Amino acid sequence: QIYSTKIHHMARDALRGLLDYIRTTSTKLHTEVTDLDTLRYVMTVLKDVREKESSIEMEIAPIFDMYAMLDHYLPGGLVDQDEMDQKSVLRPSWHKLADLAEDVADELGKIQGHYKKKLVLDVREFKQDCSDFRSDFERNGPGAPGCSPEEAVERLKRYKNELDVRERKMDMYIAGEELFALRTSKYPEMARTRKEVGLLDQLYGLYLDVLQSVEVNQSTLWIDVPGRLQEMTDEANQFDLRCKKMPKRLREWRAYEDLRAKLTDFQDLLPLISELAKPSVKPRHWKELFSQGGFTLPYDKEAFQLQDIFESPILTWREQVEEICEGADKQLGIETKLNESRETWSHTTFTFGRWKGRDCPILQAFGQIIDDLEEAQMNMQTLLSMRHVGPFREPVQEQLTALSDTADTLELWIKVQLLWTALESVFMGGDIAKQMPLEAKKFLKVDRDFVKLMAKAEQTQIVLQCCANELLKNTL
């Protein structure tokens, strides 16, 4: 059963395929011949029918054999009436198609001479048209002397379209010549024009890509520039590589020079844009640039965009921009170190302990604080000696003064504490206090002031705040 079913499917598919071919070919042969294209089309169909005629019996016979096998072993089983009808009309349908092909061939034989003569005349006119087109291309095409790149782009589009139309005609005429076994005509003007159009298309394609890229980049808002810098740089490098790969003969064209200039300006601008877009560049740096260059930019406006940079003479002041931006980086470093110093000393605190069982706090572990103060003062002095400290000279000097005053106060404080700890055990008990009552009375007052001072310092704890307290300094 499986074998017979497979045989049936093979026979049915082959039958339907051949009938479909006969039907579609018959439709093609009924195509009305109105020009050279339709003539060539019908003649191609005729050629296909002639080639198939020699092998058609090798396709029909296996179909009939398979149906005969099925009818012998499975009479009235798998094959329905419609399928049997199709089988019965297969050979008559083919003979009918072959007769039609003969009739069409006879008709074509009568009109071929007319089309052949017309082809020869058309080819002659087309050659002249190609020559005229070439002359017009040389005089008025995109490569004509004095043609601006913008105008050349429009001309290139027009001449490309006209060239495409003529190339389709050329292919049709060549096919017609092959159809009538004529010598194939040559069209050197078309080949030369196609080659030049290809080169120009390569050049102006890059030119348009660069213009489009510049237009997109110019509309970028300044606040979005840092996020697009790498993309713009990569794009410019790709354009530059494409430009360098251009054939040498294109480098003599004005469009190439204009393209090269645009790319060079863009690549020169990118480092300056990168520098100016750094967080270190503040309004004062823009103003300094404007003061030196004699131009302005709306850097403080929300609508500030790259177009403003592109249209400015900023490239003329490249060295000044680089110097100002370098100074901005240095100033940012100064500001960062100043802020770090302020932040550090706003949280640095003293460590306090208790003196011999009395409820009196005293300074402990102050050696590290003394070392840190000396280092911090040296850092501030280094900042003050830097060339670009200008905008931060006053706050750096204030920080240095605060650190210096703190160091002096702490030095005095430590001396007083050492004296107090040495005298406290002498005058706060024992025979010496009785023998020196006047001095003991004076020390008692000093002791009260010192204990009060240390209690207040313990509450404050922060080094700079403690040492900046006027009461503490006066008491010490």
- Model confidence over 277-316: pLDDT tens digits? 888 888 888 888 888 888 888 888 888 898 888 888 888 8
Q: How far apart are CA 323 and CA 433, in angstroms?
A: 72
In this structure, what token pair is assigned to residue 460?
């404050």
Give the global pTM. Answer: 0.59
Centre a 10 Å sphere on the Cβ of residue 99 and count the other Cβ atoms it contains. Answer: 10
Q: What is the pLDDT of residue 161?
A: 92
- Bridge partners, residue 361, by sequence: 354
3-state helix, strand, coil in the chain (%, to 5): 80, 5, 15
* Most confident stretch, 41-50, 62-71, 245-254, 322-331: 322-331
Name which of 23, 7, 14 is nearest 61 in CA terms. 14
Q: What is the pLDDT of residue 114?
A: 77
Cα–Cα distances in angstroms (integers) from residue 446 to residues 388, 436, 439, in the given order: 49, 15, 11
172, 231 contact by CB (below 8 A) = no
Q: What is the pLDDT of residue 203?
A: 83
Amino acid code (one letter) for 1: Q
Name which of 345, 275, 365 is nearest 317 in CA terms. 275
Category of 281 on φ-ψ map: left (φ > 0), alpha (ψ -120 to 50) or beta: beta
Q: What is the pLDDT of residue 243?
A: 86
Supply angle C-alpha 429, 430, 432, rounded to 5. 105
Q: What is the pLDDT of residue 429?
A: 64
Task: Give the residue-averaged pLDDT of 39-52.
Answer: 82
Name which of 269, 276, 235, 240 is nearest 256 in CA terms. 240
DSSP state of 152: H
- Model confidence at 412: pLDDT above 70: yes
What's the pLDDT tens digit per position in 334-354?
Answer: 888 989 998 988 888 888 888
| 378: confidence class by pLDDT, cuts 50, 70, 90 | very high
170, 126 contact by CB (below 8 A) = yes
DSSP state of 250: G
Q: What is the dihedral of CA 451, 454, 460, 465, to 10 degrees?
A: 130
Q: pLDDT above 90 covers what percent of the chain?
A: 5
Q: What is the pLDDT of residue 430?
A: 64
Amino acid code (one letter) for 117: K
Q: What is the pLDDT of residue 452?
A: 86
Phi, psi at 61, each rounded to 5°: -55, -50
The set of residues, in sequence order, having a beta carbon less than 8 Å from that of 249 and lying 6+ positions away, is 199
Q: What is the pLDDT of residue 434?
A: 66
Q: How far apart are CA 8 and CA 244, in angstroms?
A: 67
Q: What is the pLDDT of residue 76?
A: 61
The set of residues, in sequence order, having a beta carbon less than 8 Å from that of 217 and lying 6+ positions away, is 228, 232, 266, 306
Arithmetic mean of pLDDT over the chain: 84
